[in-house]
Structure 1
């Protein structure tokens, strides 16, 4: 078995999909991971969220975030299948370390912005 990595998948699903069906719907795609001896750590359904801008002429979608461990081959195959689905509007797969680095850099940026603001007031 090639080396497994931790990933975070963010999926945006068409707003017409029944939110109660989302976990079962995602399971079909996540089977690619579990069939190749990967593991699903967490599935977090955020529910419907408004977009900052239109995607496919829609103003909202159902967000879900999945944390899993798998090989890059299984991850690419799952992403390919998700992208073929009519119900899936967007996908983004990040390696866990990339996701952590992104959150950390966002926090640093926010800190720097707050520091600039308080310096401007002084």
Structure 2
């Protein structure tokens, strides 16, 4: 499995329970599909953050950041779930490249 960073923005008019439910659903999807959550910044900055440009007529949003080890199945399912969620206005999943000179972790 490779390490990925997932960032998504939840619409600003969502209440705290909705944001928490989306976060829990994403983490559950990752683990249910063979992935492992390494770190979560929820919500990133604790407050709504201003967007650089309007997305779906929203100027602010709640940013959530996950760092996780994912396999292909988990990637497909997480992206599908975020695309279908009306509360998520944007998401981005990128692979984290290992640092130059760092030794790869040994498989167990």
The TM-score normalised by the length of structure 1 is: 0.71
Q: After TM superposition, where is structure 1 displaced by more than 3 Å over at least 4 residues in a row?
A: none
For 1:19 and 1:78, locate their aligned partners in 2 and report how far apart those are by CA, in whole Å. Answer: 21
Matches within 5 A, 1:1-122: 4-19=1-16, 21-44=18-41, 45-46=43-44, 47-97=47-97
Q: How many residues align?
A: 96
Please report the RMSD computed on the Cα atoms of aligned residues, expressed in angstroms. Answer: 1.8
User: For the residues of structure 1 that align with 2:22 and 2:10, how far apart are their CA atoms?
Assistant: 10
Deviation at 1:21, TM superposition (A): 4.6
Higher RCO, Cα 8 Å, sep 6+: 2
Separation in 2, partners of 1:8, 1:70: 10
Q: After TM superposition, give the deviation of residue 37 of structure 1 in Å.
A: 2.4
Which has the larger share of helix? Answer: 1
Deviation at 1:43, TM superposition (A): 1.1
Whether the 8 Å CA contact 1:42–1:68 is kept in 2: the answer is yes
Greater radius of gyration (CA): 1
TM-score normalised by the chain length of structure 2: 0.79
Aligned partner of residue 97 in structure 2, secondary structure: helix
- Residue by residue over 1:92-119, the C-alpha shift from the partner in whole angstroms, topping out at 9 and shown as x without a partner, is 0000119x7xxxxxxxxxxxxxxxxxxx
